[in-house]
Structure 1
Amino acid sequence: MQDEQERWRAAEHLALVLSEGGLQRMAARTLAVFLFTDRPSVTAGEIAERLDASAGAVSGAVKSLLSVGLIERLPAPGSRREHYRLREDAWAILFTSQNTVIQTMLDAAGTGITAVAEDDLAHRRLVEMRDFHEFLLTELPDLLLRWQHHRKGG
């Protein structure tokens, strides 16, 4: 029993770290369930029970994690409940899905650049923001390929 308590104490600590890093609290706690469960899949009801949370809160967190590609819905023949699991390639998928965030930042920088004079301090800052995000977008594909190669033991 002590090992089980230790496991879920560590899960709650991770959730706290994730939420301090910007992830919504319930999404962070839900992600921690996926990371720390010893089961291949879980249902929203099981997550709600584990977290002592409402079905609505868990539903929103699950939708959030599905939308960024960290978890996936599984077919569950014979079950009336949806089953979910952490994707095997969750972290690379998350990084890839964040390309849209990077593109949004890039677009915002471009809009800002056109709104200020070239000799304005804001212009220099916005150009650096744009250049950084352009660099990131060009580097991500190779970085993810290297990760896949590394992950396969190469």
Structure 2
Amino acid sequence: MTEITEHDATLPPAVRAFVLHWGDMGSQWGVNRSVAQIHALLYLSERPLNADEIGEKLGIARSNISNSLKELVGWRLVRRVPVMGDRRDHFEAEVDLWQMLTRIAEGRKQREIDPAVAALELCRAEAQGDPRIGKVARGRIEAMYDFVKTMEKWHDEMIQVSPSRLLMLIKMGRKVLALIPGGKTKD
């Protein structure tokens, strides 16, 4: 057995459903299903768990658990914690949703956006000096570069906003558009 199944009776139904759903969402986002399921289990756990307990609850192979925990620790979504009287490593998840979101955003930016910016900068420089590149292609490379740089700047600005202020901004939703000239929407 490599992952939790619908019929696994070791977890309460709501926890099992959450873990399964988080695993499915993770795989849709490009995260290994086992990594996402372990994260979900630790997120819901009331106490730190060791690898054996994780394996028992999820039916995941020990080697898979070890690799998954390394990945989660690398993302700073899970941390090792000492447990009195037990020499084994125990793990707990970050439970602050804003911290979790921030760490995921920072990690994805480093792994996905930063390399894209570097590649676009190279393409842009090469296109500017190559007479074989047409005006349309050069313009589209420039537009893509400008867009990605704008999104990168927005990310860097938003990551600095306090969670309470960011939540206020999010809750305002499209009402923010009324503050921008020409920003009214159709209702």
TM-score for the superposition, normalised by structure 1: 0.79
Judge which range, 81-90 or 125-134, deviates more. 125-134
Name the structure 1 match of 2:180. none
1:98 Cα deviation (Å)?
A: 4.1
Q: Structure 2: how far apart are the matches of 1:150 and 1:113?
A: 34
Counterpart among 21, 24, 39 of residue 29 in structure 2: 21
1:62-81 to 2 correspondences below 5 Å = 62-81=69-88
1:116 Cα deviation (Å)?
A: 1.8
Counterpart among 106, 117, 128 of residue 117 in structure 2: 106
Provide the secondary structure at the position in 2 that maps to 1:23. Answer: coil
Instruction: Report how many residues are paired.
Output: 147
8 Å contact from structure 1 (residues 68, 94) kept in 2? yes
1:134 Cα deviation (Å)?
A: 2.7
TM-score for the superposition, normalised by structure 2: 0.67
Q: Structure 1: how far apart are the matches of 2:147 and 2:41?
A: 39
Segments of structure 2 that go 5 or more residues without pairing to the other structure are: 1-8, 168-187
Provide the secondary structure at the position in 2 that maps to 1:83. Answer: strand
1:139 Cα deviation (Å)?
A: 3.0
Q: Structure 2: how far apart are the matches of 1:112 and 1:26?
A: 37
Name the structure 1 match of 2:150. 131
Cα shift readout 1:84-134 (whole Å, capped 9, x = no counterpart): 101243413333444423433332322222122383233322332223223
Provide the secondary structure at the position in 2 that maps to 1:106. Answer: helix
Judge which range, 60-69 or 84-93, deviates more. 84-93
1:28 Cα deviation (Å)?
A: 0.9
RMSD of aligned residue pairs (Cα, Å): 2.7
Q: Structure 2: how far apart are the matches of 1:100 and 1:140?
A: 13
Name the structure 1 match of 2:44. 36
8 Å contact from structure 2 (residues 117, 145) kept in 1? no
Q: Structure 2: how far apart are the matches of 1:134 and 1:112?
A: 20
Bigger helix fraction: 1
1:38-53 to 2 correspondences below 5 Å = 39-53=46-60
Q: Structure 1: how far apart are the matches of 2:22 and 2:71?
A: 18
Q: Structure 2: how far apart are the matches of 1:28 and 1:124?
A: 35
Q: Structure 1: how far apart are the matches of 2:50 and 2:23?
A: 19
Provide the secondary structure at the position in 2 that maps to 1:40. Answer: coil
Pair 10,131 (structure 1): closer, same or farther in 2 beyond 3 Å? closer
Judge which range, 71-80 or 104-113, deviates more. 104-113
Segments of structure 1 that go 5 or more residues without pairing to the other structure are: none
Q: Does 1:94 align with 2:104?
A: yes
1:82 Cα deviation (Å)?
A: 0.3
Q: Structure 2: how far apart are the matches of 1:51 and 1:25?
A: 12
8 Å contact from structure 2 (residues 43, 94) kept in 1? no
